[in-house]
Structure formats: C-alpha cells, structure tokens
Amino acid sequence: MKIVRFDSVGGGSGDMILGALIGLGASREKIAQELERLLPGHFALEVENCSSYGIAGIRASVILPEADLPKHTHEHHGHHTHHTHHAFREIRTLIENSDLPGEVKRSSIEVFALLAKVEGKIHGKAPEDVTFHEVGAVDSIVDIVGSNLAFYLLGAEAISLSPLPVGCGTVHCAHGIMPIPAPATAELLTCGLEIAPSDEPFELLTPTGAALFASWQKKTIPTGAKVLALSNAFGQRELKNRPNLLRAMLLDTASSEIKDEVVEELSCNIDDCTGEVVGYLSEQLRSAGALDVWIEPIQMKKHRPGVKLCVLTTPEKRGVLAEMIFKESSTLGIRIAAKRRLTLNRSVETIETEYGAIQMKLAYCKNGEILNAKPEYEECSRIAGEKNIPLTTVIQAAKTAFFEQKK
C-alpha cells in the first residue's frame, strides 16, 4: 500500500495539497489534460518553483481567464476567490458525466458530499439543496478533483496526517466576517482532524483543504515503510513567523504477504424493481466505495423471478451503502454476513505507451513476483475512442510497453 504523509506548518488549502501531490510525482500535464475535459477553457494550472525560509519547493495556482471572473471577489487564503455559485447536485452531475476514472469520480463526489453535509448543517438545509460559494468556484473544483486525480495517479490509498495549524483572528467570507477557523472548517475538524496552536492572524486551513484531509482514508505508517518521494508545497500567502509550507512524503508499506482481512456482505432479494433501477443502484454502490457488487438471479415466492443484490464492503462503509440500498430500491430488509477474504498485495504504476500514459494495476505473490498486470479500463477506453482504434489494441499496447520496461 502507498500512503501519503502530510506534515503542515502553514495549514492546508486545496492548491497546497494539489501542489504537494504533483511534487510527489503526479503528472501535472495529465492532471491539466483531464481537468480541461471537465472544465474546458475555464482555467489554467500553473506550477512554479519557489522557496521560503530557505526551503525550496513548488507552488500550484489555478489561473482563471479574465472573461470568466465574476464582478465580486474577496481575499481567501491569500489569493482572490471568486463567487461562482454551484449547487451540489450540479457539481455531482458534472463529475458523474465526465471521463474521469471511476475511483476519482467517487472520491471527488465524496468530498463535495461532505462539504454539502457540513454547509447544510450550518445553514439548516438539506445537503441536496446546498449552494456552494467559495468551494463551488472553478478554482476549488480544480483543487478538489485535481487532488483526487493526483492521489489516484500516485497509486495512493490512504494518508497519514500531522496536527493542522488553523490560524487565528477573523476571515472575510461569503456570509460576512467570521472567526477562524471558518464555520465549514470548524465543522470539518469534528471528522477526526487534529489541530495545532498557531499565532498567525490568517486562515491557514481552508474548507477545501479540511474536506480533502477528512475524506481520505487514514492509516498508521508501519515500521519498515520506504520513502519513495518527498515534496514541499507552499501556499499563496507569506506568513509572519513561519513558512506557509505543506510537506508530503509518498511511502510504500507494501508487504509480500497475502492479506487476510474481515469484510461484510450485504444482500437483499428484489422482485419489484426494473433492471434499469437495479443497474443504476449497482453503479452508485460502486461509486460510493463498495468493494464489489454483483447480481444473482433467484426464484421468489409465488414463482416470481427476482434478483439477489450482493454488496461486499468494509464494516466502516456498511451504514452508507445500506442507506443507499434502502433509498434506491424497494427492499425492506438487508442481511449482513461477516466474511474473511485473502487478497494479493496490489499497486498502481503509470507507464508511457505509443498512445500516451496509461495506469497499470499490479498484483504480487509472496516472493514479489508480478502475477497480474492489468491496464486501467477507463483510460484505455477513452484513448480507443479518441484515436478511433480497437480497445484491445490499446490494452495490448499497454501490456507490451509495461513488460518491455520491466526487462
């Protein structure tokens, strides 16, 4: 497993997190290309070398075309944030209809869903009715989706996180002058984030940064983890007493041992939902983090044909997935069975092919030998469509390039 360790002395904003992940090796070009498909012509992603307090690093910035700037802007974490308002449902639909990898769609929507839940609690609204202000702007969509894409490109599965300085004083936001941390950030801190004292009179931890940190899975770094890469990312503002720095380390905790883990199987029998509804529910469950989803044909009472919906999940995801099944299907009950499974150690590598960069999913046996190397389907499918060539041609080219590079 690859874990990203974040250590902050300057808080954390979306652009700092994105910059840190790019510094670890996530391709800026690939990220910009995929985000351009999502928001064509609405931004430019700049990454520049910089230094502060004698430490060298990079700074990522989202630049908006002048024609796209709304009339009203305000200072937010040291740079202009633009009041483009977007409803949660609009952002979710935008991401769902994109060509992003499925895992990136799921994780990005999860961040916005968490923000919608927090904003809804603050303003007394249902999450679906929330209209974002700062976090709905183009630059924040780029930060959130771009960070999740970078996380995916690195093959990371979890993070480890230091206590986060939040700053002190007040901040100007869409709802007026508020104490630091801002209301949304303060709510997100209740998701298990730890804070550190800081005397900087600025907003150091933003809602976007807090939501990203809160939504990613947390893991303890085991003894023997190897540091694969290190990066220093700086924020836009110069602080008074410290560098505005977020350091990131990419760690490999891979073990050659077969993993033995506890999972749960949720199941229910359905005989009065259409195939389209069951298919839609299956995709939603996968996007929400189910380990696997499958359908079994069954015969129910009164000789009615039906289906058995089966969902494999971690215990932590059980509640979210069960709620989704109840909401989207006609079932009145869900069975829960504890299961154990053995899994091979896995990792993700990006390779260069004649058709561009493609991710490979790798599985290892006990001696470290690669047992399986499978190209990422979504990327191969998109390339095949763009270049008007068979999907099998792209898949074979990826496998050939991978094993040639491994010789």
315 lies in the same domain as 365: no
- The confidence score (pLDDT) of residue 82 equals 44
140 lies in the same domain as 62: yes
Q: What is the CATH number of the domain that holds 399?
A: 3.10.20.300
Between β-strands 356-364 and 345-353, what pairing exists: parallel, antiparallel or unpaired? antiparallel
Which of 11, 84, 96 lies closest to 43 in space, CA to CA?
A: 84
Residues 6+ apart with CB under 8 A from 55: 232, 243, 245
CA distance 103 to 108: 8
Q: How many folded domains does the chain comprise?
A: 3
281 lies in the same domain as 338: yes
Cα–Cα–Cα angle for 238, 243, 245, rounded to 5 degrees: 105
205 lies in the same domain as 281: no
Report pLDDT digits (tens) over 6-65.
999 988 999 999 999 999 999 999 999 999 999 998 889 999 999 999 899 999 999 887
For residues 14 and 140, the answer to whether their CB atoms sit within 8 Å is yes
- The confidence score (pLDDT) of residue 71 equals 35
Position 316, amino acid: E
334 lies in the same domain as 375: no
310 lies in the same domain as 364: no
pTM of the model: 0.70
278 lies in the same domain as 217: no
339 lies in the same domain as 351: no
For residues 191 and 44, the answer to whether their CB atoms sit within 8 Å is no
**CA dist 230 to 144, 247, 371, Å?**
21, 7, 29
- The confidence score (pLDDT) of residue 405 equals 80
- The confidence score (pLDDT) of residue 134 equals 57
Last residue of a domain, one of 213, 229, 252: 252
Report pLDDT digits (tens) over 339-352.
999 888 777 888 88
229 lies in the same domain as 329: no
- Pick out the chain residues at pLDDT < 70: 66-85, 133-136, 174-175, 254-257, 366-368
Sign of the C-alpha dihedral, residues 219, 221, 222, 227? positive
28 lies in the same domain as 137: yes
CA distance 312 to 337: 10
Strand intervals (E) in 64-183: 73-76, 79-82, 86-87, 131-132, 156-161, 164-165, 170-173, 176-179
Q: Which domain holds residue 335?
A: 259-343
42 lies in the same domain as 119: yes
CA distance 373 to 155: 14
- The confidence score (pLDDT) of residue 102 equals 84
Last residue of a domain, one of 232, 252, 272: 252
Last residue of a domain, one of 199, 229, 252: 252
201 lies in the same domain as 293: no
CA distance 265 to 260: 16
